[in-house]
A and B are shown apart, each in its own frame.
Chain A
């Protein structure tokens, strides 16, 4: 009997001590870490979205930890202890079958893109193997007032009706957009842009995906250029084009081509630009890169003047200097294809 007590009691005592030293005490200590500068608790809607993220096991494929390694620079600056103060349960994850989401709210700030992507990821990223979360959406004949139907590519859209997000999708996207990395103190200046690219290891612009989202918002101040509705053009661009081409028009490397400095957008003849917006495009070579993801045609959803407004916004922003296009030109091109 004594030997049994020694073995079971003794070994359990050793294990208990180790459990306290290696499990509980680090837990106590690290649970007290104060939030980093700018780290905010989630709003009620964002917290609800986080619960949906957990319920559907998103973190089995998406990490939320940026390592101090070169290959992680695309996901932001290295994670700091203060980033996790409000993150219970922790969602650091152990597999990166999909990309890290630490700063997805910065890297992909478009609600529309997230809705499309959640509804069916392959609609925006053809090679994606992420599950579709169609059950977080509804197909309705008419969208409720104030709700934008989701602009799905035709092959993913339902045969009739339009797709609108449910509350679950709204909450989940609100959470995803809240995933941002505040600048670490000690970075340069008080600029809102995070200073991750100022980290010691250079090669800053090796992958623009990280830096594009963080660069300060494009200057929308030059409103009264030419004879078009700049505000409307900007709004349409943000909701319709920015999901893929990004708000700063730098595109997503490997997925969506940039419009900034693009030859078609800067051409003195707007015809090709009009055709692309009306009819879509796939497999084009831009800047030496072939883009395989399809751009949907907008002829069915945008009026002539809308197309002209978007185009003129694109042709006069981010340093672009393309000749302006008119609604008449768009109408003429549209007529040609019918």
Chain B
């Protein structure tokens, strides 16, 4: 609570330690490379929906590219970017040095070895059973788990040495997310309870938690740090943030089975998942209203702050994407939407509209503070609008198309009709995806400007400017 913006400002008055900055920069650059790669793979796949004979051969076949796209987005991009942000946020908000710079570097190397080995393995056809987000062969997932363990140790060590009295809310979410994901990854790897339908229940548990107990808490941790910093005012309610933390923790792990509604999983398990999917509205609405109320009266700031716009989209993406998830869990709606492309739209609304926009907002807010270098206004503008418009086109086309797909099935049309009816929506998806890829190229340029470009005099010497965007 005492972590007010003023306190943070005085913390910022010192130069960031160069070691922390280089760790933060390295994670950011590494994540950016993976984002470019996995999005390029995504666009290639989108193209194949209209031209299935394009890129023949085993290495470019859809079923091998699909897990490469999702896993590299998951592990290479979002995980690495968020860990870089987590190091920065934990260190700065604790007003302590990073516990171990060396461990942070070792972690980054391991994350990249895992992502690279995983990509190669999948392309060679070593796929651990098409199980969402755990397609990598288990030794590779062990490398990721080891890196995650190092990260947890390093973050806890940093916060333990804090010079503040309290543990800032961001660090609750960050440390919680990393520790829970260690447990989760272990549960996903151990084989003894994963035969037949048993593995289905573990899949439901894992694929859901891997998003909501990993990306969500780390992203919320970034919100809780970056938003006060951008607005130069404290978070609306610290208590609401704590409340959302515990409710998310208790409700979220229960709802994984909603990915297998109408499956042969026990009906009670599915119903329990639906009930707690509704309960998830509590932490989701609690958290997002906390962010929106922090912004109250200051929405106008967005007109001259792209970082704030990115974060605003991230908050709204959290609100809409998660609420949509609750509604999707209802049996009546699942009857239509389950197994259709609507699901793909939903996963992009959340992983992109929420997580990815939030990461960008966090990076555009914090990297300039660390390096003293700014992206250009044009770069920010191009990135923001292409990413926003692209993802709108993407999500809307798949949501509409997926609904049509589901209705086709309900009407008993020949299956191939649902494929034919999707064609125009898949084209629009490709248009949206291409815009998203273009925006990522601009993002990479912006990252370059923030890390290796010329120093911007306006924020040099940590002049306590809480408004990094040029006006």
Contact = CB atoms under 8 A, between A and B. Distances in A.
B250 interface: yes
Interface string B160-196: 1000001100011001100110011001000011111
Interface in B230-281: 245-246, 249-250, 253-254, 256-257, 259-260, 262-266, 269
A65 B156 contact: no
Interface in B200-253: 200-203, 205-206, 209, 213, 245-246, 249-250, 253
B465 interface: no
Nearest to A89: B129
Contacts of A68: 262
Contacts of A24: 187, 193, 202
Nearest to B122: A57
Contacts of A61: 62-63
A268 interface: no
A253 B166 contact: no
Interface in B1-57: 48-50, 52-53, 56-57
Contacts of A206: 412
A179 to B, nearest CB: 15
Interface in A39-66: 54-61, 63, 65
A8 B127 contact: no
B66 interface: yes
B193 A55 contact: no
Contacts of B160: 1, 4
A135 B200 contact: no
Contacts of A27: 193-194, 198-199, 201-202
B contacts with A: majority SS:
helix
Given A60-B66, A70-B410, A83-B264, A94 B176 contact: no
A31 B260 CA distance: 16
Contacts of B205: 19, 22-23, 26
Interface stretch (B97-105, B294-302, B333-341, B382-390): B333-341
Nearest to A28: B193
B132 interface: yes
A95 B341 contact: yes
B130 interface: yes
Contact of A19 (B167, B183, B198): B183
A28 B198 contact: yes
A18 interface: yes
B424 interface: no
Tell me which of B50, B206, B414 has the highest count of chain A C-beta atoms within 10 A of its own C-beta.
B414
Contacts of A29: 198
A55 B167 CA distance: 46
Contacts of B419: 97-98, 127-129
Contacts of A89: 128-131, 199
Contacts of A92: 200, 203, 260, 263
A335 interface: no
B62 A60 contact: yes
Nearest to A80: B264
Interface string A242-268: 000000000001110000000000000
Contacts of B409: 71, 96
Contacts of B171: 7
Contacts of A59: 130
A99 interface: yes
A109 to B, nearest CB: 18
A15 B343 CA distance: 26
Nearest to B426: A129
Interface in B55-90: 56-58, 61-64, 66-67
A88 B194 contact: yes
B416 interface: yes
B400 interface: no
A87 interface: yes
Interface of A: 1, 3-4, 7-8, 11-12, 14-16, 18-19, 22-33, 54-61, 63, 65, 67-71, 74, 78-81, 83-99, 120-122, 125, 127-135, 206-207, 209, 253-255
Given A54-B130, A70-B412, 16 more contacts: A26-B198, A28-B192, A55-B125, A56-B63, A56-B125, A57-B63, A78-B264, A85-B196, A88-B199, A89-B130, A92-B263, A94-B339, A127-B419, A129-B419, A131-B48, A135-B57
Nearest 5 pairs of A and B residues by beta carbon: A57-B63, A89-B129, A31-B198, A27-B193, A55-B125
26 contacts: A4-B160, A7-B172, A8-B156, A11-B246, A12-B176, A12-B183, A15-B179, A18-B254, A22-B256, A23-B205, A26-B202, A27-B201, A31-B197, A55-B125, A57-B64, A84-B200, A85-B196, A85-B197, A89-B129, A90-B197, A94-B343, A97-B341, A122-B52, A127-B416, A129-B48, A129-B50
